[in-house]
Structure 1
Amino acid sequence: MNKLLFPMLLCGSMAAAEDVPDMRTFLFIGTPNSAAWEIQIANPGDRAAAVKGGIEALGGELLSYYWGFGNGKNYITVSLPDDPTFIQAFYLTRLGDGVLDDYQMIELMSSADMGTALERVSEVKAADDMK
């Protein structure tokens, strides 16, 4: 089967661009434990390439995959469909695999959205002052 077609079939259908679900962006920070390092040392390679296909098959997009120089943590940014229960399931999947000592998920927002949030601070303050 065509490698480009397979992820689309898993998502249900080849939808038109206007049917693409809203996406949310997350930063995942993982601290691999000794078992994870043993696996990686025995099977060296580009970990981004190893996870990209699975993320795409779930309707997401791998945006970046970095390792912290000197701390051994991985920093992965992913765009996922706007489905809170799916996003939580995505996060929970890694908790039970026994290869991470610590794992965080942080939702990111664009700089433009942050600008809008800053503009709305006065609106929130005004509502708070009405108490």
Structure 2
Amino acid sequence: MKKLILIMLNVAVLGLFSTAASAEQQDKRHFMFIGEPNAAAWKYLMDNPADRKSSVEGAFKELGGEVLSYYFGLGDGKNYITVTIPNDNELIQAIYLMRLPAGMLTSYKVIELMPSEQMSK
């Protein structure tokens, strides 16, 4: 009987945590950043090989965001970064503008993503 009560308490606690995480996730928006590095950027990347995801994670974390993935497209030379960012339009625009003055991109695009469960609403 005690074992059953402990299991039920654990399930209840997990339910509370998942509800809190779900509410926190609703305050976030999802984006995909697509950048096309220019020749200077490729030279830098080749001269300084490193995991680029780890180099941007800290910055997004400080802004209340999270880097979900960081990929390089084989054959197109672009990078694809998916992130969650707090629902703050000024912050989102500032993040977009941060990469432009660096002069390392030929093109740059930001796409807001909608989770599939929201499509049915």
TM-score by length of 1: 0.72
Inter-partner Cα distance in structure 1 for 2:43 and 2:76: 16
| RMSD (Å), alpha carbons | 1.6
Q: How far 1:20 moved relative to its partner?
A: 4.7
Match of 2:68 in 1: 63
Inter-partner Cα distance in structure 2 for 1:45 and 1:34: 18
Stretches of structure 1 that go unaligned for 5 or more consecutive residues are: 1-16, 117-131
Match of 2:32 in 1: 27
TM-score by length of 2: 0.78
Q: How far 1:106 moved relative to its partner?
A: 0.4
Aligned residues: 100
Inter-partner Cα distance in structure 2 for 1:58 and 1:85: 12
Match of 2:12 in 1: none
Change (3 A) 1:20 1:112: closer
Match of 2:92 in 1: 87
Q: Which has the higher helix share?
A: 2
Match of 2:111 in 1: 106
Match of 2:5 in 1: none
Partner SS, residue 49 of structure 2:
coil
Give deviations 1:96-121, integer Å, cap 9, x for gaps: 110001000000001111122xxxxx
Match of 1:53 in 2: 58
Match of 1:7 in 2: none
> Is 1:115 the counterpart of 2:92 in the alignment?
no
